[in-house]
Amino acid sequence: MSKFAKLVHTLKEGEGEGRIQGKSRREDYTALKVYIPRDLHRQLKLKALEEGKEISELVEEAIRRVLKQ
């Protein structure tokens, strides 16, 4: 679920103050910079839009699948 979708859900439910802590502020996450071909990045952005997810969510899922093998 994207940050925006989480925010909307939180506001509708009336939980908390409607503020969601981004991954960049969480201690259990770290930044990872990678270089990928432009066409692959474009495909990844489109996939994230289609699934209503953030790119980082798709990347995390893919990394977990690879490490599971």
What digits encode the pLDDT tens for the residues 27-59? Answer: 888 999 999 999 999 999 999 999 999 999 999
pLDDT at 58: 96
Q: How confident is the model at residue 14 (pLDDT cuts 50, 70, 90)?
A: low
**What does the radius of gyration of the chain's CA atoms come to, in whole angstroms?**
14
Non-local CB neighbours of 16 within 8 Å, separated by 6+ positions: 10
CA separation for the pair 54, 44 (Å, rounded):
10
pLDDT at 19: 60
pLDDT at 56: 93
pLDDT at 47: 96
Q: Is the pLDDT of residue 18 over 70?
A: no
